[in-house]
A and B are shown apart, each in its own frame.
Chain A
Amino acid sequence: MLSADEILDVVERDVRLSFGGTFPPVGDGFRLLAVDGIDFAFAVRDIPEADVSFVSWEYQCEHLGAMRCTEGTDAAGDPRLFIEQEPEPVEEAHDVGTMLPPTGRPVTIVGTTVVLSRDAAEVADPVLLRFIDWSRVFSQLGYAWDYGRVIA
Chain B
Amino acid sequence: MPYHFEKGPTWQVFDTFFSGADRIKAKLFVLESLWTEPRFTGFVDSFAKLPANLPLPTAPYGSGIITLADLIEHANAHWFGLPTKIGGNPASSDGYDEYDPTSSTATGFWKNWRGDAERVVRMAFIRAIEVSLGLRHPAGAYDPLTPPAQPPIPPPTSGDAITHLYADHEDPSGSPYAPTLDDAASQTSAQLATRFARNWPIEFWWLCGPRYFQASVTWRRKRLPGDPTAQNPEPPSGQPRSASDDSGRVNVVFITPGATSHVIFHDLEHPPENPPVGPRHPGGAEHAIDPARSEDRFGSWIVGHRFTESDHGGSHEPSHAGECPCPIQQWKGTGRVVTVQPRYEDGGVLLHTPY
- A positions within 8 Å CB-CB of B: 10, 13-14, 17-19, 69, 72, 74-76, 78, 80-83, 85, 99, 111, 116, 125-132, 134, 144-152
> Cβ of B325 and Cβ of A19 under 8 Å apart?
no
**Known A129-B317, A134-B315; contact A149-B4, beta-carbon cutoff 8 A:** yes
> Cβ of A10 and Cβ of B319 under 8 Å apart?
no
Q: Does B328 sit at the interface, judged by CB under 8 A?
A: yes
Looking at the complex, which of B116-124, B175-183, B205-213 is the stretch in contact with chain A? B205-213
Residues of A within 8 A of B270 (CB): 152
* 8 A-B pairs whose Cβ atoms sit less than 8 Å apart in the complex: A69-B326, A80-B317, A83-B324, A127-B320, A147-B111, A148-B210, A148-B257, A149-B111
Q: A116-B318, A127-B318, A146-B211 provided; 12 other pairs, C-beta below 8 A?
A: A14-B324, A74-B318, A74-B325, A129-B318, A134-B314, A145-B329, A146-B331, A149-B208, A149-B258, A150-B263, A152-B2, A152-B270
Q: Does B322 sit at the interface, judged by CB under 8 A?
A: yes
Cα–Cα distance between A41 and B265 once the two chains are bound (Å): 45
How many chain B residues touch the partner (CB < 8 A)? 39
Q: Does B262 sit at the interface, judged by CB under 8 A?
A: yes
Question: Which residues of B294-343 have CB atoms within 8 Å of chain A's CB atoms?
Answer: 308-310, 313-331
**Known A134-B327, A150-B263; contact A75-B319, beta-carbon cutoff 8 A:** yes
Cα–Cα distance between A69 and B320 once the two chains are bound (Å): 16
Q: How many A-B residue pairs have CB under 8 A?
A: 115
**Known A129-B317, A131-B316; contact A14-B322, beta-carbon cutoff 8 A:** yes
Q: Nearest chain B CB to A7's CB is how many angstroms away?
A: 11
> Cβ of A148 and Cβ of B321 under 8 Å apart?
no
Residues of B within 8 A of A151 (CB): 263-266, 308-310
Question: Which residues of B157-180 have CB atoms within 8 Å of chain A's CB atoms?
Answer: none
Q: Nearest chain A CB to B286's CB is how many angstroms away?
A: 21
Cα–Cα distance between A128 and B262 once the two chains are bound (Å): 39
Q: Does B112 sit at the interface, judged by CB under 8 A?
A: yes
Residues of B within 8 A of A149 (CB): 4, 111, 208-209, 258-259, 262-264
